[in-house]
Structure 1
Amino acid sequence: MDKFNSLSRRESLLGIGAAGTLLGGGALGVSSAVAGEDSKNKTDDATDGETVTSKKGRFELGLVCYEKGTAEFRVSNETGAAAKVNWTVDLGRSVVDGTDTDADDGDVDEDFDPDGETIEDGQEVDDDGDDDDDDDDNGDYSNGTDEGDYTLEGKLTVPKGASETFRADVLSKDATVTLYHDGKKVAAVDVEKLDCEEYSPADEIDLEAVCYRMRKRETENDTDENGGDGDTVSPSEPGATATYTTTLTVGSDNAGDSLNDIVADFQGTGADVSNVGDGDVAVRRNGEDVTDDLDEVSASNDGATLTLGFGGSYSLEEGDEIEVVLEDVQNPEDAGDYEATYTLNSQSAGETTTVDFTIDDGDGDDEDGADDETGVTKATEVKFRVTNDSKQKVKTNWTVQGDGQGGKCYVDGKDSETFWVTALEDQKTYVSLTYDGEEVATVKADADTECDGDC
């Protein structure tokens, strides 16, 4: 019989007899025949519990949990392409000349009776509950599903660099699940755990403070009352060279798209962005610096419009906050209140936000101990890194204890991402990271290394 042929429901029950109930020598013989023929036809490329490297890469097979005769397994594909794999369950009994060599005389393992009932010696078993003799049972176990009672083999496709899970009826403490690719045995794992343990990528996520930098920030009194709907300008005197900071919120139109461009339009205000270059721009998504994807900074309309082009490496979700910092902008020559527009992904969804900014007379008064520039103070910013050692992409949330700072951080499997936090004045700053509502780590914003180009 072919190595991936399905077992009938009757054969499954006879296999169960080898693992959990004595149905006589015939039952043990069928169980061993299936296992024997299976082992005869398949190449022995892996021993139990090993990970085998194929010609194109590596597969891993791991036991997630076991309970009540059913186990969940995870297949990880570290090859260079999506792969179709097959799996089978070996009930774990070896028979020589019709004799069960692994079991003691009269050994009955009632813990693995799948229906929770003990089958007495000599009792005829009706496995489908229709009171017939089951001579016409024909189970189909392809693709991990069946018309019978038990799933002892199946197949699935695992994407490149990802993992998938499947459930199998293991029925015996001695059961082994074996994985095959291109007809070859690539991994195997024994059923060792008796209780399911919920797996969470949170166990493989780490948070650390990397480095710090000093930045000029608007004081609280000069922050726009509309929060994310306004530009902060520093300094704000007429005609001064200033830094403009604004925050955009991603709407539903851009959800699922990549960050491709941001267009800042100051037409009609008198502000001039002609001198803004690559080194004058900083962009953060949910606190994460994405400026490394910036590949174009160009001014148009006589310096009234600035276009920031990106490589599309960062995705957007509804509710994401995009902070845009533009340095070397020349303020309008006249004091007053102005409006500018920022358009996110102008070539596609084109979500436009109107922001307000104020140019004042800059009398230089400072009652809050600010820097020499009006309304500006120096603040310490700390760069944090989130490392994801799991094989799946995760969405984490970070918050600063006792402060309104916070955001999202998306991290691909086996990768890391960063975000910035402004350290609180006159108190210790702690950052908490959560995944799926579960706290992963809380770390103090206390880095000894000053940030440079290698951070």
Structure 2
Amino acid sequence: MTTTTRFTALLVALAVVASATVGVAAAASDGSISADPAFPSGTSTHTVTATAGNDTAGSWNGFAVDYSNSGVDASNVSQDDVVTIGIDRGDDAAGDAVDVNVSDDLDSVSASNEGHLLTLGLGGSYDLDAGDEVVVVYEDAYHPMVQGSWETPLDVNPQSSGGETTATLTIESASTSDDTPTTEGDEQTSESTTDDATTDGTTAGTTDDGSTGGTSSGFGLAVAAVAIVGAALLASRD
């Protein structure tokens, strides 16, 4: 292989890595959802966050939470049940802290798909920058009579594409929880003795019926990109 050929192969590999990185950063990320209390068969307050990407920069017009996997019923969640809705500039605060309160811009709260899709509408008076975290806290989410962990799709500005991410919602019985809240990044959950339940918003654990959630594609994409660079570097040594 000539020096020119080796150099071209390396440039192609680096271009693939760059495009993959941009693609991951453009969408929303770092979704989290926590429930208080986190027990089955009862109402709960949910705290939901997501970090805006390049595709969601601009006016903040809405937010959606899809409970189809877990069966949580948001039919009774109304505008009065929204305790907090705001923006954490630069995603540098913990929990549900916000720098900008946008409650005065909240236009509507509605549930569809038999109560499993909660959509909040905003007037668009406040702007999001890439890296800002949106924070929404609301009461009256009703948990089903099951326990487990479920991948829960979130969408910043659901009226357009590019704001999608996921979080993991965990519902557990009192007998498997010491009811001690813990914090992992901005996500607050309860300690559980269920080994396969995770709350990092990427991999859902196993539920009582043996089903499992999905896995975030961003990590796999980064591994593939690193492998391509490695192959190009090996080729350059021949």
TM-score between both structures, scaled by the size of structure 2: 0.56
Pick the aligned partner of 2:79 from 278, 298, 309. Answer: 278
1:293-312 alpha-carbon deviations (Å, 9 max, x no partner): 00100110110001100011
Given the alignment of the two structures, is residue 265 of structure 1 paired with residue 66 of structure 2, yes or no? yes
Pick the aligned partner of 1:309 from 121, 144, 148. Answer: 121
Ranges of 4+ aligned residues in structure 1 off by more than 6 Å? none
Q: Is the 8 A contact 2:40 2:147 kept in 1?
A: yes
Pick the aligned partner of 1:246 from 42, 48, 53. Answer: 48
Supply the distance in 2 between the matched residues of 1:375 and 1:324 (Cα, whole angstroms). 22
Q: Where in structure 2 are there 5+ consecutive unaligned residues?
A: 1-28, 89-97, 187-238
Pick the aligned partner of 1:336 from 148, 169, 193. Answer: 148
From the CA coordinates, give the structure whose radius of gyration is larger: 1
Give the letter aligned to residue 241 of structure 1.
T
Q: Is the 8 A contact 1:298 1:307 kept in 2?
A: yes
Q: Where in structure 1 are there 5+ consecutive unaligned residues?
A: 1-226, 367-373, 378-403, 406-455
Given the alignment of the two structures, is residue 234 of structure 1 paired with residue 46 of structure 2, yes or no? no
- Using the TM superposition, give the Cα deviation of residue 326 of structure 1 relative to its aligned residue in structure 2, in angstroms: 2.1
Given the alignment of the two structures, is residue 348 of structure 1 paired with residue 160 of structure 2, yes or no? yes
Give the letter aligned to residue 311 of structure 1.
G
Of structures 1 and 2, the one with the larger relative CO (CA 8 A, separation 6+) is 2
Q: Is the 8 A contact 1:235 1:375 kept in 2?
A: no
Matches within 5 A, 1:26-425: 228-255=30-57, 257-281=58-82, 282-286=84-88, 287=98, 288-363=100-175, 366=178, 374-375=179-180
Supply the distance in 2 between the matched residues of 1:306 and 1:375 (Cα, whole angstroms). 28
Q: Is the 8 A contact 1:259 1:313 kept in 2?
A: yes
- Using the TM superposition, give the Cα deviation of residue 316 of structure 1 relative to its aligned residue in structure 2, in angstroms: 0.9
| Local SS of the residue matching 2:104 | helix
Figure out how many residues of one structure are paired with residues of the other and give that number.
145
TM-align CA RMSD: 2.2
**Percent same amino acid at aligned positions?**
42
- Using the TM superposition, give the Cα deviation of residue 332 of structure 1 relative to its aligned residue in structure 2, in angstroms: 2.5
Structure 2 CA distance for partners of 1:268 and 1:349, relative to 1, 3 Å: closer
| Local SS of the residue matching 1:230 | strand
Supply the distance in 1 between the matched residues of 2:152 and 2:177 (Cα, whole angstroms). 27
| Local SS of the residue matching 1:231 | strand
Structure 2 CA distance for partners of 1:312 and 1:232, relative to 1, 3 Å: same
Q: Is the 8 A contact 2:30 2:165 kept in 1?
A: no
